[in-house]
Amino acid sequence: MPLLLAMLLLLAIPAAATPWRAEYAVTLAGVTVMEAQVTFDLDGPGYWVESRSRSRGLASLVARGAYVTRASGSWRGDAVAPRRYATEGQTRGSPRRIVIDYENAVPRVRVLDPVEDVPRTPIPEDALPGTVDSLSALAMLARQVSRTARCDASARMFDARRLTLFAARTVGQEADGLRCELESRHIAGIPTQRDPVQAAQPQIIHTWFVRPHENGPAIPGRVEIATRWWGRVEAHLIRLEPARAT
């Protein structure tokens, strides 16, 4: 589910330096299980993104959760230079918080609560330089989509617990919009209790970009991911509107 929420941040650059707010409903078997609101500004020399999500309906009874996630940084040509990534919230009543600062392209974990969740495979220190957070990686992809109408990009992502390879490719224009396929594969920080063969399987996400406003950004109108335990999860755009700068 975290990667699905991150996919809601695949936001192309608007024509003017205007912050925007997008609202999504996340459904499982046609039933809304989560709401997400994304406020962002990716134009100019810097970028920032804020995502707020919370469980809804029956999902809030079995897996209640609410999170606020923020990322900011600057552009280096078509690449991102993250400055800070922070996420805070709770799952089933247990608080969780992560803060990562970046120094010379090296992530520094400032806050990790809880420090240990489950036993994981080690992440080599020399694998961390050049990694980015998930929101910054997707902002970089969005910039490419805006400029080229294609979504071919890759990055190494680090979230304080896992190291992930991320790759995207263009499928093509369809009735629902520009279709992109994203692959996410964990390569370190993998829970040791997971079956190695299963852990090596990539997670595939499909997204369709639309442009609701003529002068606004192109954003996902629909996101779809197949999960092992929950079946097919989808996110649908409810509205997109200009937002006040924060």
Predicted local confidence at residue 16, as pLDDT? 45
Predicted local confidence at residue 210, as pLDDT? 86
pLDDT in tens, 141-168: 877 887 788 999 999 999 999 999 999 9
Predicted local confidence at residue 11, as pLDDT? 45
Question: Could you give the C-alpha distances from 4 to 9, 72, 74, in angstroms and in order?
Answer: 9, 20, 24
pLDDT in tens, 78-97: 899 999 999 999 877 789 99
Q: Name the DSSP letter for residue 125.
A: G
Predicted local confidence at residue 48, as pLDDT? 92
Q: Three-class SS of residue 130?
A: coil
Decide: residue 201, CB within 10 A, 0-12 exposed, 13-18 middle, 19+ buried: exposed
Average pLDDT along the chain, 246 residues, taken 10 residues at a time: 54 57 91 90 88 76 75 93 96 87 97 92 96 92 82 95 95 93 94 86 91 80 83 91 73
pTM for the whole thing? 0.87
